Structure formats: C-alpha cells, structure tokens
Amino acid sequence: MHSLLLLLAVGGALAFEFVNGFHDTANAVATVIYTRSMKSHWAVLFSGLLNFAGVMMAGVGVAYSIVHLFPMEALSATGGLAMIFAVLGAAMIWNLGTWFLGIPASSSHALIGSILGASMGFCIQQGVPLQDGVAWDKARAITAALLISPLFGFLCSYLMLRLMRRLSSDERLFQAPQTGDAPPPLWIRGLLIATCGGVSFAHGSNDGQKGMGLVMLILIGMAPATFALNLQGDPALNLKAQAACRQMVEVLPEGHARVPLKQELEGYLHGTAVPQGLRQSLADSARIWGTDLSRLSGEDRVAFRNLTGLQARCLRKLAGQGRPQAASMLEAARALEAPIEYVADWVKVAVALALGLGTMVGWKRIVVTVGEKIGKEGLTYGQGAAAQLVAASTILLADVMKMPVSTTHVLSSGIAGSMAAQKCQLQRKTLYSICLAWVLTLPACITLALGLYLGLAGR
C-alpha cells in the first residue's frame, strides 16, 4: 500500500510538471507563433526540446529552495501524505483553472502557495505554532523574488526596446505581423527564434528544478531509508564534508549543549544564543562522514541528514554575522550541503520528459492572450524579441541566485514593458486579469491547500 501511495505521489508531481509545461511554456512559443517565425508544430517541438535540455543541464539550487520550504518532519508524521496530495491538488486546480480562462498565471506562485497552505494546515492539526512550523524566512525570500521579478522584467524590456530603437534603423523590426502566412525578414526571424530558445531553455532550467525539488521532497519523506542520503554519490563529496567538519572544529569555541542538540540548533536559527553544542556535533559528524553511510539504518540516515542540514544553516548564520573565519564557514556550509542536496538521475530525466511533453500541448489559449490581448495593437517583432531576451536573462540570473521565479509573469510583464516603450496602449482588461492572478495566486493556493489538507487529514 505504501509503495502504491508513493507511486501516486510521484506521478502527481510529474503530472504537475506536465501541466506546468503547457501552462507556462506557451509564453515562450507565443512570440514565434504569433509573428509566424515558426509554424506552431515546429515551435512547440523546438521549445519542448530546449525545455528538456534546460532540465537536464540544471543545477539543484532552486530545487532545494523548494525542499527547504517544506517542513520535512511533517512528511514522516501522521498526515504527511495528506500534505503531499494537498500541495499537488491545490497547485493543479489553480493552474488548470487559469489555463482554461487563458490567463497567464504563475505555476511557481501556485506551488509555493500550496506548500505554505499545507504547512499551515499541518501546524493547525498538530497544535504547532505557525511561526515554528512554517519556514517563513525561506518563504519571504522566495515571495520577494516572485513579486520583484515581473517589475524587473517590465523595466528592462522597456529599456531594451528603447535601446533597440537607437541601434536599429530597420523599421520592419517595430512593425506587427501583416495578414497572411509570410514570415518576417530572415534576420528578425532568426532573432525571434533564438530568443524563444533562450526562454525555453531558461524555463526548463528554473521550472524543471521546481519539479525535481517536489519529487525529491516526496522521495525523501516517503522513502527516507533510500533517498535521505545519496548513497551512489561521489565519495569525494563525503570526504570534503568530513574535512569541513574538522576545519570548523578547529575554528569554533568549545562548549556543550545546554539543551538537546537539535533543539539548540533550531533555537539558534530562530535568534537565540550561539549553539554551544555545534562544535561537538561537527566532530561527531566528521567521524560518520568517514564511514560507509550505507551501513547506517534508515532512521539514522534521516537523523544524520537533518542534523547536517541544521549544521550548515547555523554556519551560514554565523558567517552572516561578520564573525572571524566567515568565508571558511560559508565554504564549510556548502561542503556539508553538497552530499545531501542531490537529485537522482532518473528523477531529472522523468521531470525533463514531463515538462518537455507538456510544452507540446495546450498552448493556444495563452498564445492568443500574449500576442493580441496585452496591447491594443498586435505584438511587433521587436517587442517580442526584447521581452524574450529579458525573460531568458532574468530566469537564468535567478538560477544563479537559487531562487524560483515565474516565467509567465516575467515574460508577460516584459511584453507590457516593451509595448509601453513603443507607446502602444495596453488593454486594461487583460492587464487587470494578469495582475489579479499575480496578486491572488498565493493567497488562493494557500487557502486551497489548507482546506484540502484539513479535509484529507480528517479534521
């Protein structure tokens, strides 16, 4: 029964990523289809392949931003399955609803809001204070990135189109497609196809990591003995973690935990005194990193993973306080995170396939909105290229910063910015719908996931 539920949960996560593909990636193909730079079937195939490539070449920083948002202890407690299915259910309900209405909405907002809502439901059911049971620090940072990135996209696209106006004297770049099936001039066509590819690759890299994080979250929570530690990982990473522990033992002052170690480390993260037991716990961990981790029991693997994560977070906080050896503390934190923050190869392939295949269906509703309903005039070649270039750059920058952002909102706000630069009037009704979805997605998905969790958990 447990194996069946695990398969259902992983299948649900891949289904979410499939929906994400046709919901979000329509934004990437909208410009090349609307401007007739590519036939629709070739455009979605091209975008799907680059989404696949983006996932396969992605790192894991954004994936674990999602994992860290979820209270891992909740997955092994009563109601853990309810949390998983509440998150998946709420995010997919919102995604499918906004897609059906043709409104470009954010899958990232939907996923993060759903995780917060399910986490709040768990706290209510278990009697845990919300300030302790929800990762508010991570939530604030992620929410800030989601809210700021569309404004960044609008401004940069505005400036990009103004720059293109100065650099190019070819007025055809600033014209909307004419009636008929004739493609744009060759160099403009190449520019639009290249920027479409950039957005598709960047979308695969950033949004694919969200899917990978979601699947790994499920696997670590429901099959911890197998997935809590990367038993097939590079042994050199374990040795680096061991060396980092030994180095920090030399740096940190001696002391003994005055309360249970886990409680003390978590307390420090919430702002209390420097943990006295951190040095000794790192000394103990150094010995464990030097052993065969596969010999640990499943319970010990989970405990060791959780302790290592706490140690890394404490070291990052110490470094952020401007202490001596701050650079060494940050380096040690990265060395400790590397062996436990991983994505299994088969997970990466499965997510890449789900996202790539999802790209190839269901794109028409969003294409019409992006091409014709944001401005009162049709989208010009230059506007599409400027918006796509800015969107791809913004998303790839977010990858480097390990932050999830919304492809939908970055691109649609970029198109609005490029239209404003060309002094095109914007359609208030469409912008109102997009902004309303932008504002409502988080609270709506929090409410949906909270209600689904309490219903599934039997409260």
> Once rounded to an integer, what is the mean pLDDT over residues 51-75?
80
Cα–Cα distances in angstroms (integers) from residue 119 to residues 75, 93, 122, 314, 440, in the given order: 10, 18, 5, 23, 19
**Region at 246 (left for phi over 0; alpha for psi -120 to 50; beta for the rest):** alpha
Q: Which of 146, 70, 18, 29 is nearest to 306 (CA)?
A: 70
pLDDT of the residue at 433 = 67
> Once rounded to an integer, what is the mean pLDDT over residues 223-244?
90
The whole-chain average pLDDT of the chain stands at: 81
pLDDT over 50 at 375, yes or no: no
Q: Which of 355, 322, 266, 409 is nearest to 53 (CA)?
A: 355
Q: Alpha helices, DSSP H only, in 57-79?
A: 61-69, 72-76
SS3 100: helix
Token pair for 200: 């598709």
Distance CA 95, CA 260 (A): 43
Distance CA 132, CA 282 (A): 25
Amino acid letter at 452? L
Distance CA 209, CA 195 (A): 21
> Once rounded to an integer, what is the mean pLDDT over residues 372-395?
75
Place of tokens 């948002």: 69
**Region at 372 (left for phi over 0; alpha for psi -120 to 50; beta for the rest):** alpha
pLDDT of the residue at 192 = 85
pLDDT of the residue at 379 = 72
Separation of CA 109 from chain center: 9
pLDDT over 90 at 166, yes or no: no
pLDDT of the residue at 362 = 59
Least confident range of 151-160, 317-326, 365-374: 365-374
8 Å CB contact between 435 and 374: no
SS3 375: strand
More confident residue, 58 or 248: 248
